[in-house]
Chain A
């Protein structure tokens, strides 16, 4: 073990947060891109680590959702505790995307 102790910081700068999110999102997309079940996608380690970034990551997730629709709904719901997606969505993914982007716009997050 190295003698040099690394001090654990409780918060990340906004730039560190963005870099970490982008790296985790790229890793998740590479691992999940060929899966057909979003529950399996959400169980992958990089996705769980994005959830672990917490509320500061929500604007980054929403911007990514806007740029390239993907299954970020589980993470958004887990972090925010909210679920704006209508119950009758019936697998129409763009309705899920629109519901979350509208949720973000109302809060000026996207």
Chain B
């Protein structure tokens, strides 16, 4: 992986866990969906009505709220809940979402490329995805 995209990602703090797959993106993967490409606009999947140009982090928070997530702190792993981390660039545009695994580590789908497991949300920050903006969680029973 080019280090200018992920300056803090290393072989020690991450592992590739799937082949590349064009069928879903990070936002879908964060919501446990590996069959749709989540994006505002016609022909893509987005859980709320949204303008195709909707690219603010607030738009992403509203989308995840529509599938049961509520804002929360970073905190520790909570049994019975799944937690996601949302990323944004310096201009406030959403860039990425990652999901916490039951082990406490995190899983990310990198664009059209592979899924990876990474130790902390910050491992994939600092480059193409900007920084962690915040966290949301939902009870596991409501997972789609």
Using a CB–CB distance below 8 Å, which chain A residues touch chain B? Answer: 30, 32-40, 69-71, 85, 87, 89-94, 96
Contacts and interface: CB of A to CB of B under 8 A. Distances in A.
Contacts of B52: 39
Interface of A is mostly: loop
A36 B43 contact: no
A36 B96 contact: yes
B43 A96 contact: yes
A34 B36 contact: no
Interface string B12-33: 0000000000111111100000
7 contacts: A36-B111, A91-B28, A91-B36, A91-B46, A93-B22, A93-B24, A96-B43
A62 B68 CA distance: 39
Contacts of B44: 38, 89-91
A85 B43 CA distance: 8
A33 B113 contact: yes
Interface string B24-63: 1111100000011111011111100000110100000000
